[in-house]
Amino acid sequence: MKLWRFNGGLPSLAEHKNESVNLPIECSNVPSKLVYPLRQHIGNAATPLVTVGDKVLRGQKIADAQGLISAPIHAGSSGVVTSLEDHLIPHPSGFSAPSITIETDGLDTEITHTPCDDFRRLSVAKLVALIREAGIVGLGGAAFPTAIKLDNQSKARHIETLILNGAECEPYISCDDRLLKERAERVLQGVEILLHMLGAKQAIIAIEDNVPDTFKSIQSALANNANRAITAVQIPTIYPTGGEKQLIKTLTGKEVPSGNIPADIGIVSINVGTVHAIQQAVIDGKPLTSRIITVTGEGVNTPHNLEVRIGTPISTLIEVCSGYTHAAERLIMGGPMMGFALLNDEIPVVKATNCILVASKHEAVTEKLAMPCIRCGLCASACPANLLPQQLYWFSRSEQFEKAENLNLFDCIECGCCDVVCPSHIPLVQHFRYAKSALKVQNHEKHLSDIARERFEAREARIAKDKAERAERSRKKKAALKGKPAKEEIDAAISRSKAKKQTNTESKS
Ligand code: SF4
Ligand code: SF4
């Protein structure tokens, strides 16, 4: 299969997958408490369906989607709801946010699931609803509600190609790699469900060429699969080849235009972990309550991949990995390139958590003293999104956010390539994150002020209309009065008539 090369990227990023990839996936134990932030996906926070004191079962829906871009949340084990209040969340801001806490009872009692023997008997609309109801979001880290990506029929979009993203380009993360090694058949079943739903002609499973064993596992699973529309392809290991637009370019040569989504050019791209979750939801009837996470770094004694209940405190994961080493310096959620530091290990695993990196001093990216930009242009050459990081930096730093937006700031995938190559050690991505947040706040405020202005203008128009109607009524009344004889005239006419009558009477007599 012909492959293309996206611009920029880092072909020689040091690998650290071997530390975690060699041990099989271990199922983590049930922790004594599970914490569920209500916003753990892109879009609106979920609305709680439980209150303090409620007993819940594993798989029970405890918070419902609010609006189209949202996802429900399900309990990861049985127990009692002990609080509905703010809890520290895994977010670069270090903020707390509304969360549901469940004290588990150790019984792990599950709700009854309804498995499906033949997904082809279900309509696409039913499958979309099922995936939405299972709370599935992109498990590659984006956490975008998956059902929206798959609901192409209602949008009358035609999908040609389904891409299964198994390209784990962050140096330390190996959870998708282990998943494909151990559960290739299940992933393939998920791919068949997606082909059925999207009506795509082909499905391409993309795997980087630095994990040849994983590629072999998929190939042998494909040899036993009758569906010839599914192929596996090895792609060059270039960071960030797992980025959606970069992977599409690599496999198809197509560019997703700025402001568009892959479906606009007939492509849907889904992470392989998400495909596995879809298989479990459709075939086993189980909602998303757990996921596979890489726990790695020089700061843990036994780095490996764990299947973890969403809501589990990170401290539990560290215990399963035989505890911290003396080298543990910093907790990072995600990889060293795109991850962010966590305040402590009581923060829970959320749907987007694909890696916990317990970094040692030399693994943690330490900020160096930033020097002035020397306009070398290295950042632009390294940018896989074809942006101009130097200009974006100037506009972000000088708070000319609209100018940064006009230079497609929102196409920045925050991959950090520009940071790595910048000889002046300028923390470019930090500036871009700040500018994006500021623009989101500005846009939100503008949206609110637009609504207020529209309401004011509507009120003004209503008042003007009422005034005009009143004036019109008054004008008509006057016109009507003008048409009638005045009272004096009527009185004079009556007097004249009476006088005439009297004259007639007198002349007769
Ligand atoms: S790499 Fe750094 S120094 Fe060079 S142009 Fe970009 S921001 Fe400036
Ligand atoms: S962080 Fe953004 S601007 Fe920098 S290289 Fe990546 S996509 Fe380009």
3-state secondary structure 36-105: EECCCCCCCCCEECCCCCCEECECCEEEECCCCCCCCEECCCCEEEEEEEEEECCCCCCCEEEEEEEEEC
* pLDDT attached to residue 157: 75
Q: Does the Cβ of 383 fall within 6 Å of ligand 2?
A: yes
First and final C-alpha spacing in the chain? 129
Q: State the pLDDT confidence band at 485, using cuts at 50, 70 and 90.
A: low
The residues facing 268 across adjacent strands are 162
- Pocket of ligand 1, beta carbon within 6 A: 373-379, 389-390, 393, 421-424, 426
* pLDDT attached to residue 13: 87
Atom nearest to 424 CA in ligand 1 = 3
Task: Tell me which residue of 358, 363, 364, 362 sits closest to 318, measured CA to CA.
Answer: 358
Structure tokens at 69: 């871009």
* pLDDT attached to residue 148: 92
Q: What is the mean pLDDT of residues 1-11?
A: 94
Instruction: For residue 429, give the ligand nearest its CA.
Output: 2
Q: May I ask the CATH architecture of the domain 18-320?
A: 3-Layer(aba) Sandwich (3.40)
Q: Where are the domains of the chain?
A: 18-320, 378-435
Q: State the pLDDT confidence band at 15, using cuts at 50, 70 and 90.
A: confident
* pLDDT attached to residue 93: 81
Q: Which residue has the higher pLDDT, 482 or 170?
A: 170
At residue 309, the 3 state secondary structure works out as strand
Q: State the pLDDT confidence band at 1, using cuts at 50, 70 and 90.
A: confident
Q: Does the Cβ of 413 fall within 6 Å of ligand 2?
A: yes
Instruction: For residue 391, give the ligand nearest its CA.
Output: 1
* pLDDT attached to residue 484: 64
Least confident of 16-30, 126-140, 365-379: 365-379
pLDDT(465) > 90: yes
Give residue 14's Cα distance to chain centre: 29
Ligand 1 centroid–CA 324 distance in Å is 37
* pLDDT attached to residue 508: 61
Task: Tell me which residue of 9, 406, 14, 402 sits closest to 171, measured CA to CA.
Answer: 14
pLDDT(487) > 80: no
Q: What is the mean pLDDT of residues 421-438?
A: 94
Taken in order 90, 92, 94, 96, the sign of the CA dihedral is negative
Whose alpha carbon is nearest atom 8 of ligand 1? 373
* pLDDT attached to residue 389: 97
CA dihedral defined by 321, 326, 329, 332, rounded to 10 degrees? -10
Q: State the pLDDT confidence band at 153, using cuts at 50, 70 and 90.
A: low
Atom nearest to 413 CA in ligand 2 = 7
pLDDT(483) > 80: no
Instruction: For residue 246, give the ligand nearest its CA.
Output: 2
Atom nearest to 375 CA in ligand 1 = 5
pLDDT(201) > 70: yes
pLDDT(158) > 80: yes
Least confident of 240-254, 364-378, 420-434: 364-378
Helix 175-182 crosses helix 212-223 at what angle (to 10 degrees)? 30
Ligand 1 centroid–CA 425 distance in Å is 8
Ligand 2 centroid–CA 10 distance in Å is 12
Q: Compute the mean pLDDT over every residue in the chain, rounded to the nearest whole number.
A: 93
pLDDT(213) > 70: yes
Q: What is the mean pLDDT of residues 202-217?
A: 95
Q: State the pLDDT confidence band at 154, using cuts at 50, 70 and 90.
A: low
Q: State the pLDDT confidence band at 155, using cuts at 50, 70 and 90.
A: low
Ligand 2: which of 394, 395, 428, 436 to mutate, most ligand atoms within 8 Å of CB?
428
Whose alpha carbon is nearest atom 8 of ligand 2? 383
Q: What is the DSSP string of 445-492?
A: HHHHHHHHHHHHHHHHHHHHHHHHHHHHHHHHHHHHHHHSPPHHHHHH
| CA–CA dist 18, 6 (Å, integer) | 26
| CA–CA dist 14, 295 (Å, integer) | 18
Whose alpha carbon is nearest atom 7 of ligand 1? 390
pLDDT tens by residue, 20-73: 999 999 999 899 999 999 998 889 999 999 999 999 999 999 999 999 899 999
Q: Which residue has the higher pLDDT, 368 or 55?
A: 55
pLDDT tens by residue, 291-344: 999 999 999 999 999 999 999 999 999 999 999 999 999 999 999 999 999 999
Q: Does the Cβ of 382 fall within 6 Å of ligand 2?
A: yes
Ligand 1 centroid–CA 422 distance in Å is 5
Ligand 2 centroid–CA 445 distance in Å is 27
Task: Tell me which residue of 221, 230, 241 sits closest to 193, measured CA to CA.
Answer: 230
Phi–psi pair at 43, nearest 5 degrees: 110, -160
Whose alpha carbon is nearest atom 4 of ligand 1? 376
Give residue 96's Cα distance to chain centre: 19
pLDDT(475) > 70: yes
pLDDT(509) > 60: no
Ligand 2: which of 386, 387, 392 to mutate, most ligand atoms within 8 Å of CB?
387
Ligand 1: which of 387, 407, 422, 431 to mutate, most ligand atoms within 8 Å of CB?
422
Q: What is the mean pLDDT of residues 99-105?
A: 98
